[in-house]
């Protein structure tokens, strides 16, 4: 059946449109109500795009249909597409739909075009399609029947995924890098080569690149790395600036430079830009490798389990589509790599996570797919690479507990350096909670439910060790018995019933009782998380904590013992310990070591209860909830200054470290940036560099502080957002500090805006991952996006698509126990002001990304203190105005911009004609 014979449905905030099958009601497209749309979808399979989003627009979660996104994922695995009607049209080279009512016809044309691809002899993703389709048909995938007549059976049987993937190869260890000093002239020359002869020379960028060269000089003393703090305003061109120095050093010395980012957006940009700086493969090895945490990559063993019955229903369909992708993926990265971010949300989010190696259960060389494993491939490739692109957390993990010297970063550029503190804060935190402890139990014992997966406990993973080494076997047995004391399945329900089982659940239950009794934050009624400080806990609680401490120690001891046995075994080298077995034991030793450390951290946390506080730490008890639903409870510990362990684990072993950002300093003040670099703990004096942005903020941007939207008045806040977005004609990024207010505003304005042709998307509301939301926003200049923290500096949308940023209020820090302690240590108000200015500067940084960008930055707050204005780049005009005046300025700015665009487009056309 041709796809044009199928009815198609589209739903937006502006309404619903159904295109009937030809012959039925004339076959045209008509606007219908939500009720009729739901009935139509129940009657027959309808073509639609992004079924979960359509379901959410209709308010009917059980909606099913022929989702074009699923078909696209099958036909074009690992290909990028913005999951909107417009994105689909672009991906298939079809005309964009002019309006919502044109979408159903597009869906029919697009479905036919996709199905026809299967009959094209040049279809690049043919291999594996027939076999995958047979499995998908058995799973009753909605598209299977339509695809079956279009995909012919191959003459020779297709190889299955696991034999098609290439094997990685071991490479010899690399020698130490040569010791050199980079000259200014050669850095300038390299930079010129990278920027291209036609590019204008940017003085700031040249100075910046030369400054970056200093971090690569030979180290003068052990534990004394070169530390460079480089502030570079937006538009300086810092990426190519540091890549110029880094590529020269790596190529001349044979060493590896790590560039670390906080956001995926920058990681993608670096992947693109580094191609110019590192064009050549060295001995056939890729010079640039993107490296992420294990939990980002597809685990082939988990996928095999899922394909062979571990997943059922819709999750099994997803596993088949993931298998299609895996065969064509560049690197197996499921989170932010070439797996479309939207694929997981079409099914269920946990499904994607269950295919990665979340729990550290990898069996290394014991795994049949070890030689093809994406994670192992990335780890090996990074040891041979000239440039490794990673994130802050992974750099810290590798520095603190890298498997071998080749994996440890010694020259690191922390881009988005203002986030290093935050990343270190999470990295060096301890959380003795239900969720953490049950993970540990599963890792030691294996899962309790009748899961059919491969997940197994420590005893099964180390069966060969146990049969060879008596002491090792005893330690495994003791660990298994001790792990019974950890929370098991159903622990959360037992908390609610006040019926804990075992010493750790008893501790969690007592913690919950205490938090509920003491919290005065007002979060109880709002359904938020609750917390209380570790003080005056009472004798009964301390006693319970004492039992928990003993139970944890009883688990830690055998794990430490087992680690020592494995070490001895490696030294002994029995006959059966061949290369793969050695790799597996080595992997197990690392995993056991960090779990023993984890337990030691928890034990230290419990040991301090009831005694004097340790000034290095902040401890508290918390009950985690969202929308009133409890999901975790436990004790937390953070370093008062996480840069202290960062300095010991990351800086001290390094030779050169650069932290760079557009918002490293607070105004012109370096003090906080220096304190937040950790250099002070090593007695290292950092080198300082600053370059101002080349942008003309005085003419490109305006800050508007709106003084007449009353605080706490949601209808007024929503009306202000709607009017501002209308005045700008879309292209607005709305930033919120509370999800509750974001949802309330979105609910009030989305339909109204849609009726005016302005699409609105919202994080925490729409069933779409954040990266895809940004892709959708970037792709449509009339769309607007509402979001919270992650969007404040994870959005890089240059050009006309982002011309207005609206903050609902001054982004005050949340008054948590941790914040109170750091505020006290950091100078009270000055500490808060620094945080707020940094947040404002980051949010403002979204607005102007190129020399031609123009836009308004609006804060809806009458009480905006003047001392925070230094957050904005020098010269940016700031006006305190009423909403009415702000609307005039925003719409005026847009019309000026439109005139300009019109003029530009005429000039361009003229240019083509001549």
Q: Which residues bind ligand SF4 (CB under 6 A)?
A: 299-301, 357, 362-364, 367, 369-370, 373, 375-376
8 Å CB contact between 475 and 566 = no
- Residue closer to ligand SF4 (CB basis): 123 or 168: 168
- Residue closer to ligand SF4 (CB basis): 580 or 767: 580
Minimum CB distance to ligand SF4, residue 587 (Å)? 8
**Number of alpha carbons in the 13 Å side-chain half-sphere of residue 315:** 18
Minimum CB distance to ligand SF4, residue 361 (Å)? 7
Minimum CB distance to ligand SF4, residue 301 (Å)? 4
Minimum CB distance to ligand SF4, residue 425 (Å)? 28
8 Å CB contact between 343 and 52 = no
Structure-derived torsion over alpha carbons of residues 516, 521, 522, 526, reported in degrees to the nearest 10: -80
Q: How many CB atoms lie within 10 A of CB 699?
A: 11
C-alpha gyration radius of the chain: 29
**Number of alpha carbons in the 13 Å side-chain half-sphere of residue 229:** 23
Minimum CB distance to ligand SF4, residue 167 (Å)? 12
Q: Which two tokens stand for residue 841?
A: 């500067």
**Strands 629-639, 617-626: parallel, antiparallel or unpaired by DSSP?**
antiparallel
| Distance, CA of 355 to CA of 338 (rounded, Å) | 15
Backbone dihedral region for residue 527 (phi beyond 0: left; psi -120 to 50: alpha; all else: beta): left
- Residue closer to ligand SF4 (CB basis): 53 or 301: 301
Minimum CB distance to ligand SF4, residue 357 (Å)? 4
Minimum CB distance to ligand SF4, residue 370 (Å)? 4
Q: Which two tokens stand for residue 68?
A: 């074009």
- Residue closer to ligand SF4 (CB basis): 458 or 482: 458
Structure-derived torsion over alpha carbons of residues 138, 140, 144, 145, reported in degrees to the nearest 10: 100
Minimum CB distance to ligand SF4, residue 371 (Å)? 9
Q: How many CB atoms lie within 10 A of CB 90?
A: 14
- Residue closer to ligand SF4 (CB basis): 299 or 317: 299
- Residue closer to ligand SF4 (CB basis): 278 or 311: 311
- Residue closer to ligand SF4 (CB basis): 463 or 754: 463
- Residue closer to ligand SF4 (CB basis): 363 or 739: 363
Minimum CB distance to ligand SF4, residue 336 (Å)? 18
- Residue closer to ligand SF4 (CB basis): 370 or 428: 370
Minimum CB distance to ligand SF4, residue 332 (Å)? 9
Residue spans of beta strands (DSSP E) within 422-566: 430-433, 530-533
Contacts of the segment 104-107: beta carbons below 8 A, 24+ positions apart: 104/7, 104/8, 104/9, 104/10, 104/17, 104/18, 104/19, 104/29, 104/47, 105/8, 105/19, 105/29, 107/8, 107/10, 107/19, 107/47, 107/48, 107/49, 107/68
**Strands 732-735, 784-787: parallel, antiparallel or unpaired by DSSP?**
parallel
Minimum CB distance to ligand SF4, residue 163 (Å)? 14
Count of H-run helices and E-run strands, the chain = 38, 23
- Among candidate residues 143, 118, 426, 456, the one with its CA nearest the CA of residue 293: 426
Minimum CB distance to ligand SF4, residue 454 (Å)? 8
- Residue closer to ligand SF4 (CB basis): 297 or 639: 297
How far from the centroid of its chain's Cα atoms is residue 756's Cα? 33
- Residue closer to ligand SF4 (CB basis): 238 or 294: 294
Backbone angles phi, psi at 62, to 5 degrees: -85, 15
- Residue closer to ligand SF4 (CB basis): 342 or 370: 370
């Amino acid at each position: 059946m041709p796809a044009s014979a199928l009815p198609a449905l589209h739903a937006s905030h502006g309404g619903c449109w159904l295109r009937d099958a030809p012959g039925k009601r004339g076959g045209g497209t008509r606007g219908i109500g939500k009720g009729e749309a739901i009935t139509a979808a129940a009657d027959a399979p309808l073509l639609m795009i992004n079924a979960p989003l359509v379901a959410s627009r209709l308010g009917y979660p059980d909606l099913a249909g022929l989702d074009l996104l699923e078909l696209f994922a099958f036909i074009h695995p690992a290909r990028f597409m913005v999951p909107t009607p417009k994105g689909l049209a672009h991906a298939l080279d079809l005309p964009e739909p002019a309006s919502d009512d044109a979408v159903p016809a597009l869906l029919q044309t697009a479905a036919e075009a996709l199905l026809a691809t299967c009959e094209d002899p040049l279809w690049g993703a043919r291999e594996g399609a027939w076999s995958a389709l047979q499995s998908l048909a058995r799973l009753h995938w909605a598209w299977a029947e339509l695809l079956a007549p279009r995909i012919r059976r191959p003459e020779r049987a297709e190889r299955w995924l696991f034999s098609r993937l290439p094997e990685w190869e071991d490479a010899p260890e690399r020698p130490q890098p040569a010791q050199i000093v980079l000259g200014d002239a050669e850095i300038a020359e390299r930079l010129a080569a990278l920027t291209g002869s036609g590019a204008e020379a940017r003085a700031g960028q040249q100075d910046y690149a030369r400054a970056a060269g200093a971090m690569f000089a030979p180290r003068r003393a052990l534990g004394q790395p070169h530390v460079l703090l480089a502030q570079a305003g937006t538009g300086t061109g810092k990426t190519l600036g540091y890549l110029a120095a880094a590529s020269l050093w790596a190529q001349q010395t044979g060493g590896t430079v790590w560039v670390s980012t906080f956001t995926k957006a920058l990681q993608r940009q670096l992947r693109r830009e580094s191609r110019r700086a590192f064009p050549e493969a060295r001995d056939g090895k890729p010079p640039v490798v993107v490296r992420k945490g294990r939990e980002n990559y597809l685990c082939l063993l988990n996928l095999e389990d899922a394909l062979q019955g571990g997943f059922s229903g819709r999750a099994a369909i997803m596993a088949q589509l993931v298998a299609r992708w895996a065969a064509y993926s560049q690197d197996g990265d499921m989170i932010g790599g070439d797996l479309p971010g939207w694929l997981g949300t079409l099914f269920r989010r946990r499904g994607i996570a269950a295919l990665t190696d979340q729990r550290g259960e990898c069996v290394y060389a014991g795994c049949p797919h070890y030689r093809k494993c994406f994670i192992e491939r990335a780890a090996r490739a990074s040891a041979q690479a000239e440039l490794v692109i990673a994130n802050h957390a992974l750099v810290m993990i590798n520095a603190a507990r890298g498997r071998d010297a080749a994996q440890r970063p010694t020259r690191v550029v922390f881009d988005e350096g203002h986030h290093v503190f935050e990343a270190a804060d999470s990295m060096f935190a301890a959380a003795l909670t239900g969720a953490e402890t049950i993970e540990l139990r599963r890792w030691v014992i294996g899962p309790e439910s009748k899961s059919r997966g491969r997940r197994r406990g420590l005893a099964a993973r180390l069966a060969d060790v146990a049969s060879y080494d008596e002491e090792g076997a005893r330690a495994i047995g003791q660990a298994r018995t001790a792990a019974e004391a950890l929370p098991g399945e159903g622990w959360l329900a037992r908390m609610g019933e006040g019926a804990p089982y075992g010493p750790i659940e008893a501790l969690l239950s007592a913690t919950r009782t205490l938090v509920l009794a003491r919290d005065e934050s007002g979060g109880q009624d709002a359904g938020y998380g609750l917390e209380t400080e570790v003080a005056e806990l009472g004798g009964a609680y301390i006693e319970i904590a004492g039992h928990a401490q003993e139970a944890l120690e009883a688990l830690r001891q055998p794990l430490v013992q087992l680690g020592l046995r494995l070490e001895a075994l490696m030294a002994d080298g029995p006959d059966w310990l061949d290369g793969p077995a050695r790799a597996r034991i080595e992997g197990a030793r690392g995993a056991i070591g960090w779990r023993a450390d984890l337990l030691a951290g928890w034990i230290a946390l419990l040991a301090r209860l009831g005694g004097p506080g340790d000034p290095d730490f902040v401890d508290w008890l918390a009950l985690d909830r969202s929308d009133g639903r409890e999901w975790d409870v436990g004790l937390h510990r953070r370093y008062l200054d996480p840069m202290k362990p960062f300095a010991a684990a990351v800086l001290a072993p390094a030779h050169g470290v650069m932290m760079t950002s557009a918002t490293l300093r607070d105004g012109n003040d370096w003090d906080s940036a220096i304190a937040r670099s950790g250099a002070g703990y090593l007695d290292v004096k950092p080198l300082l560099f600053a370059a101002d942005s080349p942008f003309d903020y005085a003419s490109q941007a305006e800050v508007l502080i709106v003084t007449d939207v009353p605080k706490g008045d949601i209808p007024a806040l929503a009306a202000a957002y709607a009017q501002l977005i209308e005045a700008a004609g879309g292209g607005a990024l709305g930033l919120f500090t509370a999800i509750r207010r974001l949802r309330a505003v979105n609910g009030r304005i989305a339909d109204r805006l849609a009726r005016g042709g302005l699409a609105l998307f919202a994080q925490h509301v729409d069933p779409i991952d954040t990266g895809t939301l940004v892709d959708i926003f970037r792709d449509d200049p009339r769309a607007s996006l509402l979001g919270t923290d992650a969007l404040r500096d994870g959005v890089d949308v240059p050009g006309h698509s982002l011309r207005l940023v609206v903050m609902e209020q001054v982004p005050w820090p949340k008054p948590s126990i941790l914040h109170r302690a750091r505020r006290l240590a950091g100078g009270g108000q000055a500490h808060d002001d620094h945080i707020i200015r940094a947040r404002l500067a980051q949010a403002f940084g979204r607005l102007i990304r190129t020399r031609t960008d123009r836009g308004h930055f609006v804060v809806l707050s009458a009480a905006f203190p003047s001392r925070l204005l230094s957050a904005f780049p020098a010269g940016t005009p700031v006006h305190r105005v009423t909403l009415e005046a702000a609307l005039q300025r925003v719409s005026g700015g847009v019309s000026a911009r439109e005139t300009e665009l019109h003029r530009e487009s005429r000039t361009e056309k003229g240019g083509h004609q001549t």
